[in-house]
Amino acid sequence: MTTVREFLMTARGSLVIAGAGSAAILVSALGSQFIGGLSPCPLCIWQRWPHVAAVVIAVAAVTVLWRHTRPLAVLGMLAMLVGAGLGLYHTGVERGWWEGPDTCTSSDITNLSTDQLLAQIMSAPLVRCDEVQWDLLGLSLASWNAVISLGLAALWLASAVRVAKS
């Protein structure tokens, strides 16, 4: 009989942990939105999609497509690398390292007419991508998403390596 510890050290166990990690990120994001009152900006929403993909991939890899675990593990790793990239991009927007999408950041208003300024104000998003809504230990949620996504990508890679060895 396999113990829980032994199972978690297998390729399938790594997939379960990686998928559960992404599911936990999604639950946390939705909880902070609907319970905590933190409205997401467009970049925050974009960062959720790689986690959705990772959960779907993990479920597929441990159930119906278990014979194709290695390519799915690589696909899950790529999804998490995209998630980390989006998190780093969002962090750069928040810290002013680069401009974000026009749909969720503020732009220069010095050359705008009154009508143009009013139109920009009326079409502005409720939540801007270039402002940190919440942070922990000096890192915004976007930064934490990047860090955790990199960790989950490592788990996906470990799973792919374990499949190759078995």
Taking only the tens place, the pLDDT of each residue in 153-162 is 998 888 888 7
Q: At what angle do helices 42-62 and 69-94 cross, to 10 degrees?
A: 170
Taking only the tens place, the pLDDT of each residue in 60-96 is 888 876 667 788 888 999 999 999 999 999 888 888 8
Mean pLDDT across 32-57: 88
Give residue 38's pLDDT band: very low, low, confident or very high (50, 70, 90): confident
Query: Domains in the chain, please, with CATH?
Result: 4-99+114-165 (1.20.1550)
Burial 121-146 (b: 16+ CB within 10 A, else e): eeeeeeebbbeebeeeeeebbbbbbb
Full-model pTM: 0.78
Q: At what angle do helices 11-34 and 69-94 cross, to 10 degrees?
A: 30
DSSP calls for 126-152: SS-TTS---EETTEEHHHHHHHHHHHH
What's the alpha-carbon Rg for the chain, to the nearest Å? Answer: 19
Question: Which helix (DSSP H) or strand (DSSP E) does residue 113 occupy?
Answer: none
Residue that is written with structure tokens 């996504």 in the block: 149
Tokens, residue 7: 């199972």
β-bridge pairing 139-140 and 135-136: antiparallel
Most confident of the ranges 39-48, 83-92, 133-142 = 83-92
Which residues are paired to 140 by β-bridges? 135
Taking only the tens place, the pLDDT of each residue in 10-19 is 677 788 888 9
